[in-house]
Amino acid sequence: MKAQSVTKAKRKRPRGWFTVLEVSSPVLAVLFAMLVASIALLAIGKNPLQVYGTMVAFCLGRADSVVNILYKATPLIFAGIAVAIGFRASLFNIGVEGQYAIGATCAAIVGFSLKGLPALVHLPLTILAGMLGGALWALVPIWLKVKRGVHEVITTIMLNHTAYLLVHYLIAGPFMDKTQVIGAGGAGSPRVRMPEILASARMPELRGFLESLGISMPQHSSVNWFLVLGLLAAVLYWYFIWRTPLGLEVRAVGHNPKAAEAAGIPPGAVALKAFLLSGAVAGLVGLSDLLGYFGYFDIDFPKGYGFTGIAVALVGRNGALGIVLASLLFGFLSRGGLGVQVLERVPMETYYILQGLIILCIVIATDVLRRYMRAQEKREEAAADV
Amino acid sequence: MFSAEMLASAIRLAVPIIITGCGAIYSERSGVVNIGLEGMMIAGAFAGAAGTVFWGPYVGILVGMAAGVALALVHAVASINFRVDQIVSGTAINILAYGLVRFSAISIFRMATTTPHVDSLPKVTIPGLAAIPWLRPIFANLSPLVLVAFLLVPFSWWLLYRTVYGLRLRSVGEHPLAAETLGVDVYLMKYAGVLTSGALAGLAGAYLSVEHTGMYVEGMTQGLGFISLAAMIFGNWMPAGAMWAGLLFGFAQALSLRLVAGTIPYQFIRMIPYLLTIVVLAGWVRRTRPPATVGQPYERGEAL
Amino acid sequence: MERTDTVLAFQGVTKRFPGVVANADVSFEVCQGEIHAVVGENGAGKSTLMKIATGLYQPDEGQLVYRGRPVVFRTPGQAIAAGIGIVHQHFMLVANFTVAENVILGAEPPRRGLVDPKDAASRVGELARRYGLRVDPAARVEDLSVGEQQRVEILKVLYRGADLIILDEPTAVLVPQEVEELFEHLETLKRQGKTVIFISHKLDEVLRVSGRVTVLRRGRVVGTVEARGTTKERLAEMMVGRPVLFDLKRSDRPPGEPYLVLEGVSATGGGRTVLRDVSFTVRSGEVYGIAGVEGNGQTELAEVIMGLRPVSTGRILLGGETVTNLPTRDVRRRGVAYIPEDRHRRGLALPMTVWENCIIGFHRSPEFARGPRLVFTGIFTAVEEAVRRFDVRLASLDSPVQNLSGGNQQKLILAREFRGSPKLVLAAQPTRGLDIGATEFVRQQLLDARDRGAAVLLISADLEEVLSVADRIGVIYNGHIQAEFDARGADPKVLGQYMTGARGQSAEEATPGVATGREEGGRRAS
């Protein structure tokens, strides 16, 4: 037995340069993906450097772009967290798409139908409705996975398609806003949408608060308090995963459900909780657009946040800070895509090509890095085992 | 309700599922999960239509298959050589396919979501059976790809169970280390499985655009890639099983198209295939036996 | 035995992996027609060396000389082509293929790319008959007994025309009778001109069957000796580097009250009955050892006690309280420590850190968590203490546990489970894959727990371990405790008979009307 003072020595964190590698690998992967995407640009006769240059200038050189990036990043933060919670439990929640559609539906219904409530009550209630809707839509896939071993990927994708159809029906059918005034302001036919959300359920913009701090905001762009909520959610997510017993259980089940089971942690129950939590967060994804900008739910509601959320979670490596940064990155790419479409006539679809490429490069880079680090650590452990 | 027209419709709708389902079997039997089949179908649908616009249906369909193979190659490199999570890789392929197809559509045709109308392959009529009047709808004026689909099933069975290639492929999905110690090239077999699944998914996509609809329309695959995976599971990773499952789903879709959209809103009718898939998986997955190491990355000479 | 020419020579072979040198300058020769044993404890480098000889790895330094010529095998195929075959310790068989399919895989008879099941079966059957290896070529491998599966592995090797056959720990999974049969097969092979390399750590068998023995220790060759001229003790000493005295200390205090009681416990799994009417008692302060060949219900027994598998009939009592079918968490809360037989699968979450693995299962106890908060000061104090007490050697508590050696991983599991002074210790194959030092440590820990008054249930396929650690022994066969013995004075031969079902209750007797469908009375493979 070694009579060794163990306290400080044994809690040594991995060396600094490990962290540098960990941080730089996603960055390098993204850059490499952009390099590959350049091939597509070259194929249509565009100069990649010029395109990327325009993108950067457009996004960072204009105040309204910066604000817009923050606005676009907000739903992605929630989507990334939702997917990441699933990943922590080794579950793949591709259903964020459908979950946020249903969540937005529930929030919209609560938002326009409960009249006479003060905002202090109505808004939180609406948000809660969104979370509940998302969690509900996540229930069937996780139930089937835990009880019958059905892989959640196929069921969630099926439910995504189902959600689109259901939402379409609800918007165009029973909940269609028939009180719209035709002809006012140039509208030729009624929009297919639900009634407007009451003012008491709308999320205020950050404009007022920022201007009171002396920061002036560009005229036509907006970002709302959901951004702050998103950052708060990221902090809560970090705390949940790393500082709570349930978070430990989620990670244990994610890494080795059989060992967790033998230790007395019920894998099915933990997976269920994690996935429902993921669905609840997913329900928040559409609320920034719904309650903070549009004010009504229509069939052209933005789609695709769910898939981008997967990319965000992977680029951010399931970490809270990473997810926030990755959301900003994809907000940047999205805004930049608009910019280069207008200014350089490059199709916006490059955005999706980049997304797919980034995911691939990230996971490859992560895997290569992990293997390398493991070899290093093994060397250290073997040295200690004398 | 069980008219010949109905069956004919069911068969036509089942074809992409059968083809992709058989393709999925090749991939999964070699141990690689291919969630990216949907993306490969999309790519095949577009590439098939685009190819037909320029070079006619025969070449067009081959172009569609090539598109599927190209995407499958990406998936294969990521999953096999780099051993990344196969589901993540497949999802990335789907996103990539969506973007690439739109991008190509705009670049070539100036329209993001459709291509022009295309000619299809010359139709085939089966003699004898087509002469029987009440069977005529099923056996007359068929796309040749329908025949390909149904011939693919016994051919796949034969390939998997009566050839050296099939034996080795299956061994790689069940116990890759054992196969490697006996000199089987595990990586090569996995590549073969994945690329075959990509080619077939591309073929199915090309069938949808060139043969079935007559043009490419965004979203025309509507989740068929995933439904094909469900068909594969339901069919217990056997070609014949996938075929029956495909026919079941095809029948459900045919039925849903014929339901009078009066009392039930049409959105709910269109939900039927998706909900049916969930129900089928929920009921059946316990009775199936996937290849033992499906989804697990393999490292050469992996220590025990 | 004539020593004519050298079939295979290792010359200065060195192989390195991250953090460890598996083989260091290994040199020895294997002669034609001999049975040459290679011994060493776990981690000595035997498996790596054989993987080099069979083309799975290539040496970093040194070379192999096969039949007088230096060779490098870059793939298993090349080694096979040269005439070297290996029967692995963990069988490389595709479970749902037939025997014939497994044998011909990779070397299919040339029929223009086609596989004809009937033809394959007849070829394999012919081969089996020629070498006296009784097995049905059309049977599915997952339905065969362990001994039969081993015959399939040997057939694979012979089918490819191997002249040099390597057997890696072949007797680890066999009962005494099957070991005899294997030795007969080896003699047959020797008569037919084959050369055999026999890897084992069972020194009795090594001395019986082999001509010469090469001893490896920590990757190096200690020496090559004649089997006739040496003893078990001498070999053990060479393997470990010091005189080996398995000197376990135990107190003489008589055992206390019954603590763990099983009454008529039956359980099913995978459509068949895995535990039949199991009844036994373990008292506080005693070690009850379950002896038996793997695959007879040991895994399932541990699972039903821990609440990981449902019991269909019968009762389990802990200290008088019925705990049948309780969730695992509740079982553990009653002071039950569990050392699972597969530490990678059931014991540890490999990518998670040492400290996390050390508190799993106890992470909600008041010293570690208050409400939704984890209390890190409490956690780290406890973990440091436990790590020190159980001599777990590591660089950092934050390292992923998969970087630790097997021995340290097992010690960590002990540190975790024993921290709370458990009243029942369930240890399944606790020393599997551990070197001698760690093995000694673990066995002593079990005895210390016993001396502290805990009831210890030891499940082990290593009969020697059961005999040396347990106070009482129960032999399990076919999911049923066939007989119980006092450890002192127990006769291994008699135990072996119960372990193989040669004596004791057969399945038909236990459950009338339930046909087992097996004529040999052999065991199911796990």
A213 has a chain C CB within 8 A of its CB: no
Per residue, what are the HEC states of B104-171?
Answer: HHHHHHCCCCECCCCCCCCCECCCCHHHCHHHHHHHCCECHHHHHHHHHHHHHHHHHHHEHHHHHHHH
Q: What is the pLDDT of residues A315-359, one digit of tens each?
A: 898 999 999 999 999 999 999 888 888 888 888 888 888 888 988
pLDDT at A11: 55
Shared domain check, C446 and C483: yes
Shared domain check, C139 and C97: yes
pLDDT at A163: 96
Of B103, B222, B275, the CB nearest to A40: B103
| Residues of A whose CB is below 8 A from C18 | 374-376, 378-379
pTM, rounded to two decimals: 0.86
Interface contact C349-A260, CB threshold 8 A: yes
Shared domain check, C175 and C64: yes
Does the residue C374 lie in any domain?
A: yes
Complete DSSP assignment for C213-240: EEEEETTEEEEEEESTT--HHHHHHHHH
For B27, the token pair is 């991939």
| CA–CA gap between residue A380 and residue A326 (Å, rounded) | 32
Does the residue A380 lie in any domain?
A: no
Report yes or no: C399 and C354 within 8 Å, Cβ to Cβ: yes
Shared domain check, C30 and C156: yes
Give me the CATH number covering residue C519.
3.40.50.300
Give me the CATH number covering residue A174.
1.10.3470
**Closest residue in chain B to residue C103, using alpha carbons only:** B182
Residue A205, number of CB atoms within 10 A of its CB: 19
Does the residue C1 lie in any domain?
A: no
- Dihedrals φ, ψ of A80, to 5°? -65, -40
A261 has a chain C CB within 8 A of its CB: yes
Split into its structural domains, chain C has a count of 3
Does the residue A48 lie in any domain?
A: no
C191 has a chain B CB within 8 A of its CB: no
Shared domain check, C317 and C276: yes
Does the residue A330 lie in any domain?
A: yes
Helices (H), C38-144: 46-53, 76-82, 99-104, 117-131
A5 has a chain C CB within 8 A of its CB: no
Residues 6+ apart with CB under 8 A from A365: A25, A26, A28, A29, A32
Interface contact B183-C88, CB threshold 8 A: no
C interface test, pick of B158, B170, B182 with most C CB neighbours within 10 Å? B182
Does the residue A151 lie in any domain?
A: yes
Q: What is the pLDDT of residues C175-233, one digit of tens each?
A: 667 788 889 889 888 888 899 999 987 788 888 899 999 999 888 999 999 988 888 77
Shared domain check, C465 and C454: yes
| Residues of C whose CB is below 8 A from A382 | 19-20, 405
For C139, the token pair is 């049977």
Q: What residue numbers bound the domain in which C196 lies?
A: 6-240
Interface contact B93-A356, CB threshold 8 A: yes
Q: Show which subunits contact B, needing at least 3 CB pairs below 8 angstroms.
A: A, C
For C346, the token pair is 């059931």
pLDDT tens, N- to C-terminus, chain C (526 residues): 344 588 899 999 999 887 778 899 999 999 998 999 999 877 778 888 998 998 888 999 999 999 888 999 988 888 988 999 999 888 889 998 999 999 999 888 888 888 889 999 999 999 998 888 888 999 999 888 878 899 999 999 999 888 999 998 888 777 667 788 889 889 888 888 899 999 987 788 888 899 999 999 888 999 999 988 888 778 877 877 766 656 788 888 888 899 999 999 999 987 788 899 999 999 999 999 999 877 789 999 999 999 999 999 999 999 999 999 999 999 999 999 999 998 988 999 999 999 999 999 889 888 899 888 999 999 999 999 999 989 888 888 888 898 888 888 999 999 999 988 899 999 999 988 787 788 888 999 999 999 999 999 999 988 888 988 999 999 998 899 999 999 888 887 788 778 877 777 654 444 433 333 332 333 333 3
| CA–CA gap between residue C452 and residue A45 (Å, rounded) | 80
Q: Show which subunits contact A, needing at least 3 CB pairs below 8 angstroms.
A: B, C
Helices (H), C266-422: 298-306, 328-333, 354-359, 376-389, 406-418
Interface contact C89-B183, CB threshold 8 A: no
Interface contact A13-C398, CB threshold 8 A: yes
A140 has a chain B CB within 8 A of its CB: yes
Shared domain check, C232 and C157: yes
Q: Please tell me whether residue C511 adopts helix, strand or coil conformation.
A: coil
Of B166, B183, B304, the CB nearest to C77: B183
Shared domain check, C276 and C209: no
Q: Strand (E) positions, A206-248?
A: none
Interface contact B99-A351, CB threshold 8 A: yes
Residue B85 has pLDDT above 70, yes or no: yes
Residue type, B191: Y
Shared domain check, C129 and C271: no
Q: What is the pLDDT of residues A215-239, one digit of tens each?
A: 777 777 788 899 999 999 999 999 9
- Domains of chain B (ranges; CATH) run 4-120+134-287 (1.10.3470)
- Dihedrals φ, ψ of C138, to 5°? -95, 0
B281: closest CA among B239, B244, B235? B235
Report yes or no: A284 and A132 within 8 Å, Cβ to Cβ: no
Q: What is the pLDDT of residues C456-515, one digit of tens each?
A: 999 998 888 898 899 999 999 889 999 999 988 888 778 877 887 777 765 444 443 333
Of C338, C384, C399, the CB nearest to A381: C399
Does the residue A45 lie in any domain?
A: no
**Cα distances (Å, whole numbers) of residue A361 to A368, B67, B131:** 11, 21, 57
Query: Mean pLDDT, chain B, as a whole number?
Result: 89
Shared domain check, C96 and C52: yes
Of C356, C391, C394, the CB nearest to A384: C394
Q: What is the pLDDT of residues C266-285, one digit of tens each?
A: 999 877 888 999 999 999 99
Residue A109 has pLDDT above 80, yes or no: yes
A90 has a chain C CB within 8 A of its CB: no
Strand C373-374 with C369-370, pairing: antiparallel
Establish, for the pair of chains B and C, how many residue pairs have beta carbons separated by less than 8 Å: 75
| Residues of C whose CB is below 8 A from B289 | 96
Taking the CA atoms of chain B, what radius of gyration do you get in angstroms? 19
Residue C381, number of CB atoms within 10 A of its CB: 13
C92 has a chain B CB within 8 A of its CB: yes
**Count, residues in chain A:** 386
CB-based burial label for B291 (10 Å; 0-12, 13-18, 19+): buried
- Which string of b and e fits A296-319 if b means at least 16 CB within 10 Å? bbbeebbebbbbbbbbbbbbbbbb
Q: What residue numbers bound the domain in which A225 lies?
A: 65-370
Shared domain check, C473 and C459: yes
Does the residue A27 lie in any domain?
A: no
Query: In B, what residues contact C, Cβ < 8 A?
Result: 161-168, 170-171, 174-175, 177-184, 289, 292, 301, 304
pLDDT at A131: 97
Does the residue A328 lie in any domain?
A: yes
C90 has a chain B CB within 8 A of its CB: yes
| CA–CA gap between residue A33 and residue A35 (Å, rounded) | 5
pLDDT at B245: 93
Shared domain check, C294 and C221: no
Does the residue A34 lie in any domain?
A: no
- Dihedrals φ, ψ of C91, to 5°? -60, 140
Q: Strand (E) positions, chain A?
A: none
Split into its structural domains, chain A has a count of 1
Interface contact A244-C372, CB threshold 8 A: yes
CA torsion, ordered B181, B185, B191, B196, to nearest 10 deg:
-100
Residue B279, number of CB atoms within 10 A of its CB: 12
Does the residue C435 lie in any domain?
A: yes
